[in-house]
């Protein structure tokens, strides 16, 4: 791949662009634009910004992502999750409706861009893996409730507090029953019902555009703006200018946690959507290139009066369903937004805010996945508890703290699992060479005088104490005297210096108790570390290393002993044959000798 294509992926797909793709791309771009324009205005309202800011955020970011993104179908722009995060972060610093509020939101968009682009250049796309599915599910469900509750004021025509405490918002809305605007409520309810029903009955219908047009005409024709229905009002015409928002350094420092949170959440959303459709159409996307593309798109959006953007699932699904094949569809969508900004802003004067709120509520209704939560509960209880914890934390502490609690809990759960790894005491299936977990297979035979254990985790400083305690307790609780403790290490992928030292100490401790430690099926990286400690050579000379667990048990039960395998000792091939060291490749010349020579060179 040439440097130009790596820097600007648009050169790659434009070079092979087919004329047959133009028609589907144009149709998809027009269809997505019809959905994007009202959604962008509604999401800006959700963020506490003027609706026009949503359109500003749908120009430069679309152009930048089309040139730099590696997904052919991802539709970027304002999304609900980012909007509620922006609202929470900026409202804590500036007054809603003030000019400073808009500037801080733009600065936040640029900060998100810097974080994302920086992570991309550092090839740190793997960080999104810390956002596990249960955390995302719990966070998304709680955020959906917070977003829906935040729109009650616009749907009822009253003022309600902007807070993440859903119960407080609902209570305040009910207390203000006498002040409800019934025309506003009727418009909002009708809009929500239209959006929900059309999604199920007529999924290809541009329901959001229909709601916007019909609601605007109703307000204009019936003069509802003079009867308490809040409308968008004057929307400035023209394209956004290029302006770096000037914000105090103290404000920028205060925005750092929010910028980091939005950067990770929006990237997670975009990469999840992008991978979904990339797998369907059999092409690859580069997570690090996606970070750079989204980062530069956010930088451009912030510098042109917008606010943070991401890749939305609903718009991308519409884009794909309409036939999009490349990012030419995004360029068409951008062109429609530009035309709207230049010539159609006057048509938004009588657009009721209740209609925009209805679009938001309908969009986030599908984010509460009860069926998915039930499936998580059925498959893995601990993951379900993690989901519930994140859900409760998000509702009680707020969106930013909620996701941090979820990530922290998932990392803590991972550490707990690795410090107490899964292990199994094995027994032999009668008349076979198979050894299975005695707890799951009671019919397996115990091995008199031998404890055979399989560990399914890496050894590191965090679980060495658990290893020692497990070995001691198994020997102490054995009903018969133990002569050999056999550790099947096929599931051990790595070990650090602390674990290697612990194995050496354990070997000496068991020897003092008259028990020999035996290792089987050791992987190459583990052998390398043990060789550098000297333990591997020592155990090899004493015949306590085996490639086959079954062969090891046969040797130990028969009382066979290995001769010295040091360079001055007996023929290593005969000894290797005796313990079955050459069983992995019996046709290789001198298998036993090759095996032990390779151990000594640490290249096995």
Give mean pLDDT, residues 58-87: 92
- The total number of residues shown for the chain amounts to 604
Residues 354-370: b if buried by 16+ CB within 10 A, e if exposed: bbbbbbbbbbbeebbee
Q: If we measure between CA atoms, which residue out of 488, 468, 476 comes closest to residue 550?
A: 488
398 Cβ partners below 8 Å, 6+ apart? 88, 164
Give mean pLDDT, residues 317-330: 89
pLDDT of residue 120: 93
396-445 pLDDT, tens digit per residue, is 888 778 888 988 898 888 888 888 888 899 999 988 889 999 999 989 98
pLDDT of residue 403: 82
Q: Is the pLDDT of residue 349 over 60?
A: yes
pLDDT of residue 26: 93
Neighbours of 36 (CB within 10 A): 32
Q: Where are the domains of the chain?
A: 20-324+348-412, 421-601
> Three-state DSSP class for 39?
helix
* Architecture per CATH, 421-601: 2-Layer Sandwich (3.30)
For residues 320 and 73, is the Cβ–Cβ distance under 8 A? yes
For residues 232 and 51, is the Cβ–Cβ distance under 8 A? yes
147 Cβ partners below 8 Å, 6+ apart? 46, 80, 83, 84, 360, 361, 364
Supply the pTM of this predicted model.
0.74
Q: Is the pLDDT of residue 582 over 70?
A: no
Average pLDDT, the chain: 85
pLDDT of residue 5: 59
For residues 117 and 283, is the Cβ–Cβ distance under 8 A? no
190-239 pLDDT, tens digit per residue, is 999 998 898 888 877 788 888 989 999 999 999 998 888 899 888 889 99
Q: Is the pLDDT of residue 580 over 60?
A: no
pLDDT of residue 272: 82
402 Cβ partners below 8 Å, 6+ apart? 139, 142, 143, 390, 391, 393, 394, 395, 396
Rounded to whole angstroms, how far apart are CA atoms 536 and 223?
A: 88
Q: If we measure between CA atoms, which residue out of 549, 194, 504 comes closest to residue 358?
A: 194
Residues 467, 472, 475, 477, CA torsion sign: negative
> Three-state DSSP class for 454?
strand
519-573 pLDDT, tens digit per residue, is 999 988 898 899 898 888 889 888 899 988 999 998 888 865 444 334 344 444 4
Q: Is 245 exposed, middle or buried (0-12, 13-18, 19+ CB in 10 A)?
A: middle
- Backbone torsion region of residue 432, taken as left when φ is above 0, otherwise alpha when ψ lies between -120 and 50, otherwise beta: beta
469 Cβ partners below 8 Å, 6+ apart? none
Rounded to whole angstroms, how far apart are CA atoms 32 and 541?
A: 71
Neighbours of 218 (CB within 10 A): 18
Work out the pLDDT band at 298, boundaries 50, 70, 90. very high
Helices (H), 542-590: 549-558, 572-579
> Three-state DSSP class for 566?
coil
Q: Between 137 and 484, whose confidence is greater? A: 484
Mode of pairing for the β-strands spanning 484-488 and 450-455: parallel
159-170 pLDDT, tens digit per residue, is 888 777 888 888
Q: Is 575 exposed, middle or buried (0-12, 13-18, 19+ CB in 10 A)?
A: buried
DSSP annotation of 346 = G
Rounded to whole angstroms, how far apart are CA atoms 293 and 266?
A: 12
Give mean pLDDT, residues 42-58: 93
Strand order through the sheet with 450-455: 435-437, 423-428, 450-455, 484-488, 516-520, 545-546
CA distances from 62 to 41, 212, 316 (A): 16, 23, 13
Q: Is the pLDDT of residue 52 over 90?
A: yes
Residues 48, 50, 51, 56, CA torsion sign: negative
Alpha carbons within 13 A on the beta-carbon side of 416: 7
Q: Phi and psi at residue 485, in whole multiples of 5°? A: -115, 110
């Amino acid at each position: 791949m040439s440097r130009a294509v790596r820097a600007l992926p648009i050169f790659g797909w434009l070079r092979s662009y087919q004329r047959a793709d133009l028609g589907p791309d144009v149709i998809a771009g027009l269809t997505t634009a019809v959905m994007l324009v009202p959604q962008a205005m509604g999401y800006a309202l959700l963020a506490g910004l003027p609706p026009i800011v949503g359109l500003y955020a749908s120009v430069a970011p679309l152009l930048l992502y089309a040139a730099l993104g590696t997904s052919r179908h991802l539709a970027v722009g304002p999304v609900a999750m980012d909007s509620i995060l922006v609202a929470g972060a900026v409202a804590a610093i500036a007054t809603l409706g003030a000019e400073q509020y808009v500037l801080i939101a733009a600065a936040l968009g640029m900060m998100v861009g810097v974080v994302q682009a920086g992570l991309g250049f550092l090839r740190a796309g793997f960080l999104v893996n810390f956002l596990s599915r249960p955390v995302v599910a719990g966070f998304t469900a709680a955020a959906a409730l917070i977003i829906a509750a935040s729109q009650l004021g616009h749907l009822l025509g009253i003022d309600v507090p902007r807070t993440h405490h859903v119960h407080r918002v609902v209570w305040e809305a009910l207390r203000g029953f006498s002040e409800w605007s019934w025309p506003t409520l009727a418009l909002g309810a009708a809009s929500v019902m239209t959006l929900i029903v059309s999604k199920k009955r007529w999924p290809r219908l541009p329901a959001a555009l229909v709601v916007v047009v019909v609601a605007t005409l109703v307000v204009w024709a019936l003069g509802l703006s003079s009867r308490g229905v809040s409308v968008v009002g004057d929307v400035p015409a023209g394209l956004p200018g290029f302006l770096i928002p000037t914000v105090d350094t103290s404000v920028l420092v205060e925005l750092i946690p929010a910028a980091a949170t939005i950067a990770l959440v929006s990237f997670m959303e975009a990469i999840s959507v992008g991978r979904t459709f990339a797998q369907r159409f059999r092409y690859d996307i580069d997570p690090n290139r996606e970070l750079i593309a989204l980062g530069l798109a956010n930088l451009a959006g912030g510098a042109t009066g917008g606010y943070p953007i991401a890749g939305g699932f609903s718009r991308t699904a519409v884009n794909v369903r309409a036939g999009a094949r490349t990012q030419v569809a995004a360029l068409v969508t951008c062109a429609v937004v530009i035309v709207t900004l230049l010539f159609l802003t006057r048509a938004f004067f009588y657009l009721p805010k209740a209609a925009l709120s209805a679009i938001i509520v309908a969009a986030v209704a599908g984010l509460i996945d009860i069926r998915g939560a039930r499936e998580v509960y059925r498959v893995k209880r601990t993951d379900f508890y993690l989901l519930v914890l994140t859900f409760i934390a998000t509702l009680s502490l707020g969106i930013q703290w909620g996701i941090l609690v979820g990530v922290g809990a998932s990392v803590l759960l991972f550490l707990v699992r690795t410090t107490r790894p899964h292990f199994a005491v094995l027994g032999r299936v009668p008349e076979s060479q198979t050894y299975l977990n005695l707890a799951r297979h009671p019919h397996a035979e115990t091995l008199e005088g031998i404890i055979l254990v399989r560990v399914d985790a890496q050894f590191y400083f965090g679980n060495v104490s658990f290893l020692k305690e497990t070995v001691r307790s198994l020997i102490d609780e054995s009903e018969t005297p133990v002569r050999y403790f056999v550790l099947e290490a096929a599931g051990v992928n790595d070990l650090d210096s602390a674990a290697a030292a612990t194995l050496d100490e354990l070997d000496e401790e068991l020897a003092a108790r008259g028990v020999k430690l035996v290792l089987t099926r050791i992987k190459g990286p583990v052998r390398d570390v043990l060789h550098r400690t000297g333990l591997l050579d020592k155990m090899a000379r004493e015949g306590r290393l085996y490639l086959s667990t079954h062969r090891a048990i046969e040797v130990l039960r028969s009382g066979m002993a290995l001769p010295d395998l040091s360079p001055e000792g007996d023929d290593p091939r005969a000894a290797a044959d005796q313990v079955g060291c050459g069983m992995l490749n019996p046709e290789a010349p001198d298998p036993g000798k090759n095996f032990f020579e390779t151990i000594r060179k640490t290249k096995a």
